[in-house]
Structure 1
Amino acid sequence: MFGGFAKAIFGSSNDRYVRSLQKIVDRINGFEPAISAMTDEELRGQTALFRQRLADGQPLDDILPEAFATVREAAKRTLGQRHYDVQMIGGIVLHRGSIAEMRTGEGKTLVATLATYLNALEGKGVHVVTVNDYLARRDADWMGQVYRFLGLTVGVIVPNLTDQQRRAAYAADITYGTNNEFGFDYLRDNMKYDRAQMVQRPFNFAIVDEVDSILIDEARTPLIISGPTDDKSELYMSVDAIVKQLVPEDYEVDEKQKSVVLTEDGTEKIERLFENAGVLVGSNLYDYENTQVVQHLNQALKANVIFKRDIDYIVKNDKVVIIDEFTGRMMDGRRWSDGLHQAVEAKEGVKIEPENQTLASITFQNYFRMYPKLSGMTGTALTEAPEFYDIYKMNVVTIPTNLPVQRIDEDDEFYKNQNDKFAAIAKAIKEKQESGQPVLVGTVSIEKSELLSEFLKREGVRHEVLNARYHEQEAHIVAQAGAMGAVTIATNMAGRGTDIQLGGNVDFRIEDELADVPEGPERDAAIAKIKEEVAVQKQRVLEAGGLFVLGTERHESRRIDNQLRGRSGRQGDPGLSRFYLSLDDDLLRIFGPQTMFARLMNKNLEDGEAIVSPWISKAIETAQKKVEARNYDIRKQVVEYDDVMNDQRKVIYEQRADIMDADTVGDVVEDMRVETVNAIVGEACPPNSYPEQWDIEHLKSRVGEIFGLTLPIDDWLKEESVDPEMLVDRIRAATDAQIADKTASLAPETYIQIEKSILLQSLDHHWKEHLAMLDALRQVIHLRAYAQKKPIDEYKHEAFQQFERMLGAIREDVTRTLAFAQFTFQQPDLPEMPDFVTQHIDPFTGEDDSADLDAATGNVLSRLPPLQVPRPEMPDGGGDTAVAEIVPPASRNAPCPCGSGRKYKHCHGAL
């Protein structure tokens, strides 16, 4: 009560904060007369003056007012647009690392120029992140006019660029690009073998456009770079054959969740079958060593019990093709992940295609948290403010509109079923079109768009239907959605970033209609005619009530509804919004068929009758809040699991960077050799044990296996002062002498390059295997909950243990390779790309939202010098070291020269 009273008198904390920024805006306005009087050259010279002041130790905040005034003047001269005072407030909020919530049509793209220019003066690079490639190109060209006028360089990151082009774009003062491109470039950089091949600079400052879409909606799924794994066809078929021996009593099925779990008896039966087939390590299915076997078992169970032929998939041309559960269409080229598709292929007895293995992955949460300063802008962020602060430590500041909002938001209309609702929608749209009022219709899926389109065709309503995918042509259609009598049906994400101007968009009409008309009097006359037509249409649309935004159902998130509403009523224009709902809507199913709400609707509503009630609208909002909270928990869980991997990822990537930057890595290699010797002596001679208890045969075997040495260990044991330390010292001395002898004929710089190459290749190989193990562990760790254990804690514990094992394996691997290999040096060939694909699944459409840039990702793999490395059959400590010279072939897809029959990239050329 008192809080509401105080808020009424003093305003909210947001209002007070915005008012406090007015003093800075007044200072900016104070510079305007002097800066307006400058010539173009003098205005451009401001950049050099600002940079000098920064070099002299002045902070950015001190030059902010003058820099913002400079950008405002540059925008006036290049774009013909002057920043409003509220836009200046938005620029200050962005500079301070917060989120500026600005309504649609308030000019967020122009606002970004203020903070971008100011922070680019430091020369450390500013990233402006957009939701798609079209907007990245558009904004880089459009706002780039301001930056280039002021002497700054602008780059843009889009698909199909070479490494050289990417490096140049990142070296620019300001770089535009999509979240996917930035994230994948980071992952690819950390797969390279030379600093000179990396494209990104150290992170500095990022401004995220449509921050709610990128940092919340798309953050549900991580970015993944994957490559083909070894052929596991036999394992899939073996597991499938065993699963087919189970009977329904051996498992429990939950069709709603599409899950199947073994019963206790079923688990014992599987363990016996697996043991007999030699698939299991030990006798316990859930031992750590059997993690991947459990994953294959779970997927084989799903394939055989849950997934039905001709319902979930069909077999066509000896291939398993997924059927879309919503449209019933075949989805050629799409494959289930985590080995499920391979399990279905084994079930149907068709050729098993190799699954892709994760080579590198990162969530958007962890990627963007690497920026020392991060800010964002959108029309709808306040409903997710707690999540923005919890995850990214960013506050949301609501920026007031330049002109008062005149849009009318009407209460929702409720109907008994979907047919009644769509019939009412079609009727309402027809009435609006006849009056000349433009209508923007928001749907939640392509299926619903097509269904509504059928209703509109019956009513004879002219309309445009847009798919959920955003591309340049859609931008042109959406730009004309404000034309008189226009009806545009768009899915929830369509049209973002494009302004809907009443009467139509002059610039887009000129681009569409006069593309082939050359410069001259004819073109000028045509442009004047278009402007006149748009002005007349705008007046008629204003008289008709502005843009009518019609929602065909509520979304899970209030934020998506607000985005749709925000398309109407820009810059003080009139507008109208209304949502149409029915009991068939996805969200209303949350209430369930037995609730009071559902009974009320069914009992009191006649066919075709609607009910309008603020109380029901409030109940819907409550349901949305519950769904938002659930989705937040899901995203938070994704972050919790990725945080575990992120800590390990940082260690590995930092280690890679240190190796690449180091002048020499001899100390690192020597430490690895020492640790390896200590480990093998520790295995054979446990602490506090007597010499007669030592496993000397094991020690001799391990020394031969890792170092290829035959040492007189039996003779050493006859000495009186024998102890583990003495064994360690003598084995170390022997291995040091071995390495010194091998490298005597090599130039020091050559051997350093070889050491670096072997270190990086071993690191990458074991990191890849570690990621595969973590993926498999993640699939099954939830089962620990049945033992009253917290899955995330168990995951942390297991992941840490596996990480320790991986480090030990890397040390041993590097030591073994250097001990056995005999080195000759040749000039390396030009680097080649490995075969991998990028993946980021769109959380709304389920489609892969990343470009598969196999040919455009740049040069990732730096060739090793030709090495003489051991054959797979290691000697057991005998006299000869049995080495075979392996010279990389011209192509990574060529057969490996070792004679294994596998491709070079899958054998001695493996990452």
Structure 2
Amino acid sequence: GMVLHSGSIAEMVTGEGKTLVATLPAYLNALAGKGCHVVTVNDYLARRDMEWMAPLYMGLGLTVGAIQSDMKVLERQKAYDCDITYGTNNEFGFDYLRDNMRPASRGDDRYPKEYQQSQGRLTFAIIDEVDNILVDEARTPLIISGPAHDDVKKYAEADRIARQLKREEHFIVNEKDHSVNLTDEGVRAAEKLAGVESFYTAGNMEWPHLIDNSLKAHFLYKRDVNYVVKEGRVVIVDEFTGRLMEGRQWSDGLHQAVEAKEGVKIKEESQTLATITLQNFFKLYDKICGMTGTAMTEANEFWKIYQLDVVAIPTNRHMQRIEHPDVIYRTETEKYLAVADEIERAHKWDVLVMKNGDEYWGTIQKEEDDAVLFQAQGSKEKERIERSKLDSIEKKGRPVLVGTVSIEKSERLSSMLEKRGIPHQVLNAKHHRREAEIVAQAGRLGGVTIATNMAGRGTDIILGGNAETMAWAQLQDKYATRLDVPHEVWSSLVHEIETREQMKEQGAYVKSIGGLHVIGTERHDARRIDLQLRGRCGRQGDPGSSRFFLSLEDDLMRIFAGEWVKNILERLGMKEGERIESKMVTRRIEAAQKKVEERNFEIRKN
């Protein structure tokens, strides 16, 4: 609380109570009567945190509100009139832009209320998941636009031309720089296909840009990775959070190029009426501070751009998480088979690990003081194995959370598990409505959850399951917010669910067999996203473990670390299907991630 009040960033490990800690500086700074904004990454968290903390603020005599994306002007004004206002970075930013376009300031009675500004002064902001908002989203411009009279036929025409050009001969794709360039040969071929003499004469100058965008749409923007097609529209997927960004558009005609590629209705390109980047918006506050589980990797950037110090807060209880070294395979197919094996092992089988390194999968029939009665997988015989030969016993039923980098990959893994008969839940931008419910139950005995980066933030996985989330899932059709649920109704339902589902007993058993196991299936460009995934397990002193499975075909490996790692693996004589665990390779991958982060920092700085 002191760190936040002093205008710094507090790095707090997942599950250490960031939401609760934010109430201390929020209350203290709101006492001045100039308002305090608590910034979260999505509408759901803004509303949830406001509802959770409202009894505390109201008990201390302060008012609290939350901004939601579907609110009208008068509702927004009411929320901003509160002492403490929760909302997302986008809502606060767009309200600032809208206010600048309104004719009257607050309280100017010559104008009706809906024409008056709603936000008021930007005094103090507490930013939750500060790295996501001030680093990942920093350069994202918030744009209010109006229609520009645009001829949409040209995008379809450019798409037709792009489809006929040949890679390498007519254009070069550079994945590292995320660019596509026409060759001289390509320019001539495209001119011919467009039926013009030259692109560099008046009236034809737009063609190279249109064709560049179409080629980018085909070779750099992938469906179910960078965007989804939903109800005949192209909707962007946020690469850092895995969420759908409704209402967001790529600028400069790129969105239209992707629409042409997918054959959906092409919307007109719009003209900008007002714009600001999040970086510049948050610099307008008198004081800002932030919280996150992963800020140290960006400490340099926070200081250089925002003059914010990062302070690491020690954990309340000793951390028990085991971080296994990365495992690397040659191909993506081998990697996913290994991931499916690891899930099956944790979910279905008891595993005996012998002192000589051998492993036996099967079912423990009986445990004695000096031996274990064991039936191996696929065998009808029971075998008595002496404990003196055992290194460890891993019991089945540990909950597993698998992090994937895209919707497409999460669905691929899901179909592999279906074939093996392993029940599981999939959480990606297509199923985001059930997000809280799925994540809350990811810590149950035998639970298997496959998630995109969505499960990284603002979600707490409690071993044995989360009764409060299940209770709210049952009550939300009856009550508008959690605050409307009578206390006795709430507590009796939570108690009933805990008892019926035996959550406390289940939680204790899951702890005894090793807690949540987290599997990463690829490294993200930003180390923070990997650290966040690891941070899902081992919360508040619980046991847990994590391991990343990688392949030479992963994007990060292929583009940044590929050749070096490949040469090393070949020198080690690595064969098809073999795996390698190497601290040296892990260090090299982290160096590649650092390189990408530094390059992105330079772009943001300039």
Structure 2: distance between partners of 1:400 and 1:589 = 37
- Is the alpha carbon distance of 1:493 and 1:262 closer, same or farther for their aligned partners in structure 2, counting shifts above 3 Å? same
Higher mean displacement: 523-532 or 548-557: 523-532
Higher relative contact order (CA 8 A, sep 6+): 2
Pick aligned residue for 1:477 from 417, 438, 441: 438
Shift of 1:413: 1.1
Pick aligned residue for 2:510 from 526, 541, 553: 541
Structure 2: distance between partners of 1:424 and 1:344 = 34
TM-score, normalised with respect to structure 2 = 0.75
**Divergent runs of 4+, >6 A:** 272-278, 341-347, 514-523
Shift of 1:371: 0.7
Shift of 1:494: 2.5
Alignment match, 1:215? 134
Alignment match, 1:612? 581
- Is the alpha carbon distance of 1:472 and 1:136 closer, same or farther for their aligned partners in structure 2, counting shifts above 3 Å? farther
Structure 2: distance between partners of 1:300 and 1:521 = 60
Alignment match, 1:368? 282
Shift of 1:115: 0.3
Alignment match, 1:112? 22
Q: Which has the higher strand share?
A: 2
After superposition, the C-alpha distances for 1:708-732 in whole angstroms (9 at most, x for unaligned) are xxxxxxxxxxxxxxxxxxxxxxxxx
1:134–1:472: 8 Å Cα contact kept in structure 2?
A: no
Structure 1 letter corresponding to 2:573: N
Give aligned-pair identity as a percent: 52
- Is the alpha carbon distance of 1:340 and 1:410 closer, same or farther for their aligned partners in structure 2, counting shifts above 3 Å? closer
Shift of 1:553: 1.5
Does residue 172 of structure 2 align to residue 254 of structure 1? yes
- Is the alpha carbon distance of 1:112 and 1:413 closer, same or farther for their aligned partners in structure 2, counting shifts above 3 Å? same
After superposition, the C-alpha distances for 1:746-791 in whole angstroms (9 at most, x for unaligned) are xxxxxxxxxxxxxxxxxxxxxxxxxxxxxxxxxxxxxxxxxxxxxx
- List gaps (5 residues or longer) in structure 1: 1-90, 280-292, 314-321, 641-911
Structure 1: distance between partners of 2:490 and 2:98 = 51
Pick aligned residue for 1:392 from 296, 301, 306: 306
Structure 2: distance between partners of 1:430 and 1:177 = 41
Higher mean displacement: 503-512 or 370-379: 503-512
- Is the alpha carbon distance of 1:149 and 1:399 closer, same or farther for their aligned partners in structure 2, counting shifts above 3 Å? same
1:125–1:205: 8 Å Cα contact kept in structure 2?
A: yes
2:561–2:592: 8 Å Cα contact kept in structure 1?
A: no
- Is the alpha carbon distance of 1:606 and 1:337 closer, same or farther for their aligned partners in structure 2, counting shifts above 3 Å? same
SS at match of 1:181: helix
Shift of 1:479: 1.0
1:593–1:599: 8 Å Cα contact kept in structure 2?
A: no
1:195-206 to 2 correspondences below 5 Å: 195-196=105-106, 197-206=116-125
Structure 2 letter corresponding to 1:202: R
- List gaps (5 residues or longer) in structure 2: 107-115, 235-248, 349-395, 479-484
Pick aligned residue for 1:416 from 303, 326, 330: 330
2:467–2:494: 8 Å Cα contact kept in structure 1?
A: no
Does residue 78 of structure 2 align to residue 168 of structure 1? yes
- Is the alpha carbon distance of 1:353 and 1:518 closer, same or farther for their aligned partners in structure 2, counting shifts above 3 Å? closer
1:138-537 to 2 correspondences below 5 Å: 138-196=48-106, 197-231=116-150, 253-256=171-174, 257-260=179-182, 279=203, 294=205, 296-302=206-212, 306=215, 324=223, 332-334=232-234, 337-339=251-253, 354-434=268-348, 435-468=396-429, 471-494=432-455, 496-512=457-473, 524=492, 527-528=495-496, 530-531=498-499, 533-537=502-506
Alignment match, 1:580? 549
Shift of 1:426: 1.2
- Is the alpha carbon distance of 1:343 and 1:569 closer, same or farther for their aligned partners in structure 2, counting shifts above 3 Å? closer
Structure 2: distance between partners of 1:591 and 1:521 = 55
- Is the alpha carbon distance of 1:135 and 1:276 closer, same or farther for their aligned partners in structure 2, counting shifts above 3 Å? closer
2:552–2:566: 8 Å Cα contact kept in structure 1?
A: no
Shift of 1:473: 2.0
SS at match of 1:208: strand
2:199–2:208: 8 Å Cα contact kept in structure 1?
A: no
1:591–1:597: 8 Å Cα contact kept in structure 2?
A: no
Alignment match, 2:593? 624
Structure 2: distance between partners of 1:444 and 1:546 = 24
TM-score, normalised with respect to structure 1 = 0.51
1:312–1:325: 8 Å Cα contact kept in structure 2?
A: no
1:590–1:623: 8 Å Cα contact kept in structure 2?
A: no
Structure 1 letter corresponding to 2:86: Y
1:514–1:523: 8 Å Cα contact kept in structure 2?
A: no
Structure 1: distance between partners of 2:457 and 2:62 = 28
Does residue 471 of structure 2 align to residue 561 of structure 1? no
Structure 1: distance between partners of 2:508 and 2:29 = 41
SS at match of 1:388: helix
Aligned length: 513
Which structure is larger by alpha-carbon Rg, 1 or 2? 1
Shift of 1:301: 4.3
Alignment match, 2:360? none
Structure 2: distance between partners of 1:484 and 1:471 = 23
- Is the alpha carbon distance of 1:630 and 1:469 closer, same or farther for their aligned partners in structure 2, counting shifts above 3 Å? farther
Structure 2: distance between partners of 1:465 and 1:635 = 34
2:15–2:540: 8 Å Cα contact kept in structure 1?
A: yes
- Is the alpha carbon distance of 1:345 and 1:505 closer, same or farther for their aligned partners in structure 2, counting shifts above 3 Å? closer
1:100–1:398: 8 Å Cα contact kept in structure 2?
A: yes
Shift of 1:354: 3.5
Shift of 1:370: 0.7
- Is the alpha carbon distance of 1:469 and 1:222 closer, same or farther for their aligned partners in structure 2, counting shifts above 3 Å? farther
1:864-883 to 2 correspondences below 5 Å: none
Does residue 2 of structure 2 align to residue 97 of structure 1? no
Shift of 1:330: 5.7
Structure 2: distance between partners of 1:522 and 1:115 = 29
- Is the alpha carbon distance of 1:450 and 1:189 closer, same or farther for their aligned partners in structure 2, counting shifts above 3 Å? same
Q: Which has the higher helix share?
A: 1
Alignment match, 1:122? 32
After superposition, the C-alpha distances for 1:570-607 in whole angstroms (9 at most, x for unaligned) are 11111111111111111111356643644524862233
- Is the alpha carbon distance of 1:628 and 1:328 closer, same or farther for their aligned partners in structure 2, counting shifts above 3 Å? closer
Shift of 1:608: 2.8
SS at match of 1:361: strand
Structure 2 letter corresponding to 1:628: E
- Is the alpha carbon distance of 1:171 and 1:617 closer, same or farther for their aligned partners in structure 2, counting shifts above 3 Å? same
- Is the alpha carbon distance of 1:155 and 1:134 closer, same or farther for their aligned partners in structure 2, counting shifts above 3 Å? same
1:156–1:176: 8 Å Cα contact kept in structure 2?
A: yes
Structure 1 letter corresponding to 2:84: I
Shift of 1:147: 0.7
Structure 2: distance between partners of 1:183 and 1:362 = 8
- Is the alpha carbon distance of 1:406 and 1:341 closer, same or farther for their aligned partners in structure 2, counting shifts above 3 Å? closer
Structure 1: distance between partners of 2:557 and 2:414 = 23
1:157–1:176: 8 Å Cα contact kept in structure 2?
A: yes
Structure 2: distance between partners of 1:580 and 1:276 = 49
